[in-house]
Amino acid sequence: MRSVIVIGGGISGLAAAWQMRGMADVTVLESHTRVGGKLRTGTIAGVTVDEGAESLMALRPEAVELATAVGLGEALCDPATSPVTVWTHGALRALPAGHVMGVPTDPSALAGTGLLSPEGVARAAAEETLAAAPLTEDCPVGRYLAARFGQETVDRLVEPLLGGVYAGRADRLSLRAAMPRIAALAEQGAPLTPALRRLRAAGAPRPAAAVQGVAGGTGRFPQAVAEACGARILTGTTARTLSRIPGDRWRVQAMTGDGALTMEADAVVLALPAFAAAELLRPHSPLAEAELAAVPHASTAVITMAFSRTRAHFLPEGNGFLVPAVDGHTLKAASFLSNKWPWLQAAAPETFVLRASVGRIGEDDLLARPDRHLVRAAVSELHRAVGPMGEPLAARVTRWDRGLPQYEVGHRDRVARIREAAGKLPGLALCGAAYEGVGVAACVATGRAAGRQVLAGA
């Protein structure tokens, strides 16, 4: 059996280990005291909640398939049905159904929502009448979509969704990497609105909900994969250096709570954020190191709050809301977990839990504020957005420093260069959120592909 060291025990590394189960002798090194990375549960006021990712994409199969395979099929659950809502122009306003990452397929349905001005709605509706030259090179999402639908559509519909997924800005994110479906249509050189409408009409049957949660918290998912994959899992173990040894093998030097640890293996999977993979690759591929180090990352913070259902002055309805950056608020989004996830309501009927998120790329000053300031700002803006809920029973700030890679213009070419450079290092595979998608499903896909690559001896 080949021996393999997987460095990084987030969902990508665990998916790689799972892919190799029974076919390789796998050890996973994870610097934290528990596996899971950005999938992590914690407790607030005695209630278990997710502190990182809270849902799995259901529109693509990889995450829900793996969750089912590791025994969580019964725990998968749909969120409550509720439209995507944007807090803008002083109120919560529902986005009409049928948008693709905020890009409207029926702009006339925006009339009367208050999301856009009448001129903004007319400008968006004019998209289908505008000539469209085929897109030939990558460009910022914001530039392309503003030229087609107008700046208001970008500011009030598209950017809030990009802020939610990437903590990114429309004027920097890559159309090809962050909105591949829209980019593929743009390359055909035809108006987007009718093309998106046709795609939706002809599309495969869609699952009831775009995302699914896991009863008890999405943080259960990596634990279940870790148990099912049969790998040796060393938590509290940080890989420090990676070196080649004779026989095309690899040596990993790591630090543990008990001191240094040296391990050797036939192959290594780097399932790490780009900046951490860059460090380990420095002696082996200056090109891969430079490209990985150049991937920008946004830091964010999740502010989880628990309210007493009996003592709160008011509790909001719906699943939460997104906030356009252009409105200048501190909050980026809020998710009303107790409304959204029926399992949470059943587990804690007396408590109402919500989480607010702050921090987009470039908002480091905001994130430098102490926890209590962030909690105060979140409570005050929630009161403005939904109504006077009163004070939370408990609040906790979870910081995700450099938590989300930014797929900026040229990202796909950068990833191709990284993969080409890494491909010259036999027995080394890369996976994780930095490459072909930040969502959990995309991470599972890269992890499993890395596992297959190693098993194939590449």
Ligand X SMILES: Cc1cc2nc3c(=O)[nH]c(=O)nc-3n(C[C@H](O)[C@H](O)[C@H](O)COP(=O)(O)OP(=O)(O)OC[C@H]3O[C@@H](n4cnc5c(N)ncnc54)[C@H](O)[C@@H]3O)c2cc1C
Q: Considering only 18-26, 123-131, 266-274, 417-425, which stretch makes contact with ligand X by CB under 6 A?
A: 266-274
Q: How far is the CB of 156 from ligand X (least distance, A)?
A: 22
Contacts of ligand X in 17-56 (CB under 6 A):
29-32, 37-39, 52-55
Q: Binder to ligand X among 4, 5, 6, 7 (CB under 6 A)?
A: 7
Q: CA-to-CA distance for 63 and 176, rounded, in angstroms?
A: 23
Q: Does 221 bind ligand X (CB under 6 A)?
A: no
Q: Of 226 and 382, which CB lies nearer to ligand X in the complex structure?
A: 226
Q: CA-to-CA distance for 267 and 456, rounded, in angstroms?
A: 11
How far from chain centre, in Å, is Cα 47? 23
β pairing state of 24-29 and 76-77: unpaired
Q: How far is the CB of 299 from ligand X (least distance, A)?
A: 9
Q: How far is the CB of 50 from ligand X (least distance, A)?
A: 8
Q: How far is the CB of 274 from ligand X (least distance, A)?
A: 10
Please report where in the chains the tokens 């994969």 appear, as a residue: 225
Query: DSSP characters for 310-366?
Result: TT-S----SSEEE--GGG--SEEEEE-HHHH-HHHHHH-TTEEEEEEEE--TT-HHH
Q: Of 146 and 433, which CB lies nearer to ligand X in the complex structure?
A: 433
Q: Binder to ligand X among 4, 20, 272, 450 (CB under 6 A)?
A: 272
Beta carbons within 10 angstroms of residue 402's beta carbon: 15
Query: Which backbone phi and psi does 414 adopt, to 5 degrees?
Result: -60, -45
Q: Binder to ligand X among 302, 325, 347, 425 (CB under 6 A)?
A: 302
Q: Does 325 bind ligand X (CB under 6 A)?
A: no
Q: Binder to ligand X among 104, 160, 324, 403 (CB under 6 A)?
A: 403
Task: Give the number of residues in contact with ligand X, rule: CB under 6 A.
Answer: 36
Q: Of 316 and 437, which CB lies nearer to ligand X in the complex structure?
A: 437
Q: Of 53 and 125, which CB lies nearer to ligand X in the complex structure?
A: 53
Sorted by sequence, the CB contacts under 8 Å of residue 390 that are 6+ apart come out as 307, 311, 312, 313, 314
Q: Does 432 bind ligand X (CB under 6 A)?
A: yes
Q: Name the 3-class secondary structure at 6.
A: strand
Q: Does 196 bind ligand X (CB under 6 A)?
A: no
Angle between helices 274-281 and 286-293 (to 10 degrees): 160
Q: CA-to-CA distance for 276 and 270, rounded, in angstroms?
A: 9
Q: Does 438 bind ligand X (CB under 6 A)?
A: yes
The token pair that represents 109 in the structure block:
């349905």
Q: Does 229 bind ligand X (CB under 6 A)?
A: no
Q: Binder to ligand X among 4, 5, 6, 11 (CB under 6 A)?
A: 11
- 50's enclosing H/E stretch is strand 47-50
Q: Of 281 and 438, which CB lies nearer to ligand X in the complex structure?
A: 438
Q: Which residues make up the interface to ligand X (CB under 6 A)?
A: 7-13, 29-32, 37-39, 52-55, 57, 238-239, 271-273, 276, 300, 302, 400, 403-404, 432-433, 438-440, 443
